[in-house]
Chain A
Amino acid sequence: MKILVALKQVPDTESRIKVAADGRSLDPADVKWITSPYDEYALEEAIRIKEAKGAEVVALSVGTDAAKDVLRNALALGADTAVLLKGDGQGDAFAVAQMIAAYVKDRGFDLILCGNKGLGGDNAAMGPMLAELLGVAQANVVVKLELGDGTFTAERETDGGSELVAGALPAVITAQKGLNEPRYASLKGIMAAKKKTIEELDAAPAVAGAQVSALALPPERPAGRKLEGEPAAQAQALLQALKDEAKVF
C-alpha cells in the first residue's frame, strides 16, 4: 500500500493576526509556523496503517523552502520519504489541488490523507477538490478509518452526529480531531530525519479559481458591562438585560 500525506504549514493557533502592508496577506512577523493540526492526524493515521499492515508513506507539502520544516518533522515521525512541490506559497485551494493531483497521477497511491481543513485559510476545500480532479472517492471530517481489500469505511462528523461512508480505494480521506492521538517524534527519529533528503520538484502549472483581494481585522466589540450583586441578583439582572436590551428572548 502506498499512502500520500499532504501537509500544510500554517500560523500557530496562539498567533495574533496582523495584516501586511499589501492589505491582502498575513504579516509574517512574529508568527510561529506549525504543521496544520488536522494534517497531524492525517500523518499519524498513515503511520499507524504502516505499522499495522505495512505501507510506504510519502509526505508532501506545497510551498517555499520554509515548508521543509513540516516535511522534516513528518520524516522524524515516520514518513518514509518527503516531497516539496515548490511554488510561491500563494494560490487558492483549487490551484493547490491541481498541483498535488499532477504529482499523484500515475504514481500508484492507494490512499491520500490530509487535514479536513488547513488551519487559518479554513477553506476545507483542497481534499474534495483533489478527489474530484483524480476521479476518486472522498470522505471528509473523518474520525475513524478502516481499510479493507481495496475498500474503506470511514466515520465522518456531520451536523450534530456522524455517518459511515463506504467506498473504493484509491480515496482522499480528510482527518478530523479524534481520528487518533498523534505521537511525538523520538530523538532517534529526529536524528534519522536529518540525514534524509527532501525531494524538490517544481509544482505543476495551475489555475487559481479565487483569490483574496483584501484582508481585514474584525471590528472591535462595543464595551460591555459587569453585573453586580449576589448570584441571584446577577442572574436576574442578566436575564432581564438579555430580554429587554439585547432582545434575545
Chain B
Amino acid sequence: MILVFCELKDGQLRKPSAEALSEGRRLADAGGKPLGALFVGASCAGAADAAKYGADVILTAEGGTLASYSSDAFAQVVADAVKAKGATVLLAAATAVGKDVAPRAAARLAAGYASDVTSLSIVDGKLQAVRPVYAGKAFATTSFASAVQVATTRPNVFPAAEKAGAGAPEALAAPAGDFKSVVKEILAKAGGKVDLSEANVIVSGGRGMKDGANFKLLEEFADAIGGVVGASRAAVDAGWGLPHSMQVGQTGKVVSPTLYIACGISGAIQHIAGMSGSKFIVAINKDPEAPIFKLASYGIVGDLFEVVPELTKAAKAMGIGSN
C-alpha cells in the first residue's frame, strides 16, 4: 500500500494533502498497489473527501487524546498504520505538520526520508525522489535503501487531480495519552491568508521598497490579484518591522508559486535560490542591470513607486483577482 498522511482544516481536506494524495494515486497505479489515506485527530469528519482523490481505503485514528497536535503521538500513530497496513511508501505534504511528523515517523520505521520533493517515481519497485537542495540551486535524485520509503511533497508542485476511489473507511485505535509534547495554543494566524509556501501568486518587496510602511503598496496590489506578500532577506533584515515569516530565500521560505512578482529586489543568489522554482517571474526594478532580470519572464525597468500603483489600478479595471 501507498499511504498518505492527510490533514483537514475546518473539516475540509487541505489542498497540499489533496496534491499528495493525487501523486500517491499516480504511484499506486504505476506499482499496482492500493492507496490509503490516513487522518489523525479528535474528529476526522471530512476524511471522506480523500475518496475524491483516489483513496481506496480511508484510515482514521480518532480520539480525544489527539485533539491537539503532538509530534510523538502522531508519529506513533502514523508508523503504526504503516506497519499495520504493510505500506511500503509513506507520503505527507511538506506542511508545518507534515515536515514535523514524517521524519519522526521515518526514524521510528528505520526508513529513509526525502523532504520537500518535487518529483516522484517508482524505479525497480522502489520510490525515487527528486528534491531541490541548496534551496533550489541544484536538484538531488534520492534513492532509498530501506524497505519503507518516506517523502514529503512540496505544496503547489503536484497537481491535485480528482479521481474517484472506493474510500472504504477503517478506524484505527488512538493512543492513550501521556505524550512527550503537545500543542497547547495556536497563536497568530495571518488574517485568513494562505502561507507563502502554498500561495499561487506572490508579490515580494526588497531593499528598493525603502521602508516597511511602503509594503502597503504591495498589499494593495496583492489583494487586487489574489496574492500574498513576501520579502527579501535585505528587506526583513533592514529593521523595517517585517516578520521573518515573510522572507523568501535560502534562509527563509522556498516558494514555487505560479506567479512571483519581485519589486525592488536585485536578485541576490540567496534570494533567487528561494524563488527560482516559480513558473512565471516578473521583475520590477529601477536598475536595468539587476540580476533578477535574467530570470524574469517579464521585466519592467522603472520606479516601483510609480509602476505598482498603476498595476493595482489596472488589475481592478480588468477585473483580475480570482485565482
Which A residues have a C-beta under 8 Å from some C-beta of B? Answer: 11, 13-17, 19, 26, 37-38, 92-94, 97, 119-125, 127-133, 135-141, 143, 153, 155-168, 171, 176-178, 207-218, 221-222, 224-227, 231-232, 234-236, 238-239, 241-243, 246, 248-249
Q: Which of B105, B183, B195 contacts A165 (CB 8 A)?
A: B183
Roughly how many angstroms separate A208 CA and B107 CA in the complex, as a whole number?
Answer: 11
Interfacial chain A residues near B258, Cβ < 8 Å: 248
What is the bound-complex CA distance between A11 and B273, given in angstroms? Answer: 13
B183 touching A14, Cβ below 8 Å? no
Minimum CB distance partner of B100 in chain A: A140
Which residue of chain A is the closest to B142 with respect to CB atoms? A210
In whole angstroms, what is the CA distance A38 to B244 when docked? 13
- Give every chain A residue within 8 A of B232 (Cβ-Cβ): none
Taken together as a complex, chains A and B put the C-alpha atoms of A216 and B138 apart, in Å, by 6
Contacts of B320 in A (CB 8 A): 239, 243, 249
Output the nearest chain B residue to A138 by Cβ-Cβ distance. B71
Whether the pair A166, B140 counts as a contact (CB closer than 8 A) is no
Q: In whole angstroms, how far apart are the Cα atoms of A210 and B106 in the complex?
A: 11
Chain B interface extent, by class: 35 or more
Q: Are A157 and B103 in contact (CB under 8 A)?
A: no
Please, which residues of chain A bring their CB within 8 A of the CB of B321? 249
Contacts of A243 in B (CB 8 A): 318, 320
B276 and A161 form a contact (CB under 8 A): no
CB-contact partner of A214 in B140, B149, B185, B193, under 8 A = B140
Binary interface encoding of chain B residues 305-323 relative to chain A, with 1 for a CB under 8 A from any of its CBs, else 0: 0110011011100101101
Residue of A nearest to B9 (CB): A159
Chain B residues within 8 Å of A122, by CB? 115-116, 131-135, 254
B167 CB-CB contact with A under 8 Å: no
Answer whether A221 and B276 are a contact pair too, CB < 8 Å, given A132-B104, A137-B180, A212-B141. yes
What separation, in Å, do the CA atoms of A138 and B74 have in the docked complex? Answer: 12
Would you mind naming 5 contact pairs between A and B with Cβ atoms under 8 Å apart?
A130-B107, A163-B187, A221-B281, A238-B298, A248-B201
Pick the contact of B138: A13, A17, A164, A241 (CB < 8 A): A17
Nearest B-chain residue to A18, judged by Cβ: B138
- Given A160-B194, A236-B310, output 9 extra A-B contacts at Cβ < 8 Å: A125-B103, A137-B71, A141-B96, A163-B186, A163-B187, A210-B143, A215-B141, A242-B298, A248-B280
Pick the contact of A14: B269, B297, B299 (CB < 8 A).
Answer: B269
Minimal beta-carbon separation of B14 from chain A (angstroms) = 9
Does B208 make an interface contact (CB < 8 A)? no
CB atoms of B136 and A218 under 8 A apart: yes
* Given A137-B71, A209-B106, A160:B142 Cβ within 8 A: no
Say yes or no: is B189 at the interface (Cβ < 8 Å to chain A): yes
Q: Assuming A128-B103, A155-B187, A165-B181, is B110 touching A37 (CB within 8 A)?
A: no
The verdict on A209 contacting B185 (CB below 8 Å), with A129-B106, A224-B297 known, is no
Query: Do B299 and A213 have beta carbons less than 8 Å apart?
Result: no
Asked if A133 and B307 sit within 8 Å, CB to CB, the answer is no
CB-defined contacts of A231 to chain B, threshold 8 Å: 302-303, 306-307, 310
B259 touches A242 (CB 8 A): yes
Q: How far is the CA of A205 from the CA of B308 in the complex (A)?
A: 57
Please tell me if the beta carbons of B110 and A138 are within 8 angstroms of each other in the complex: no
**Chain A residues positioned under 8 Å from B110 (CB to CB):** 94, 207, 209
**Which residues does B use to contact A, with CB under 8 Å?**
69, 71-72, 75, 95-97, 99-100, 103-108, 110-116, 128, 131-146, 149, 180-190, 193-198, 201, 225, 243-245, 247, 250-252, 254, 258-259, 268-270, 273, 276-277, 279-282, 293-303, 306-307, 310-311, 313-315, 318, 320-321, 323
A222 to B294, CA, bound (A): 9
Are B301 and A160 touching (Cβ within 8 A)? no
Q: Quote the shortest CB–CB distance from A249 to chain B (angstroms).
A: 5
Distance to closest chain A CB from B129 (angstroms): 8
Contact A125 B106 (CB under 8 A): yes
Which chain A residue lies CB-closest to B270? Answer: A13
* Chain A residue nearest to B254 in the complex (CB): A122
**Min CB gap B200→A, angstroms:** 8
Closest beta carbon of chain B to A137's beta carbon, Å: 4
Chain A nearest CB from B134 CB (Å) reads 5
Question: Once the chains bind, are A160 and B184 in contact (CB under 8 Å)?
Answer: no
Q: Chain B residues near A14 (CB, 8 Å)?
A: 268-270
Q: Are B141 and A226 in contact (CB under 8 A)?
A: no
* CB-based contact B113/A125 at 8 Å: yes
- Chain B residues, CB < 8 A from A16: 137, 269
Cβ distance B41 to chain A, nearest Cβ, rounded Å = 15
Residues of B within 8 A of A120 (CB): 133-135
CA distance A166 to B139 in the complex (A): 36
Distance in Å from the Cβ of B87 to the closest Cβ of chain A? 15
Complex: A135 Cα to B108 Cα, angstroms: 10
Tell me whether B318 and A140 are in contact (CB under 8 A): no
Q: Does A209 contact B144, Cβ atoms closer than 8 Å?
A: yes
Residue of A nearest to B143 (CB): A213
Distance in angstroms between the alpha carbons of A216 and B258 in the assembled complex = 23
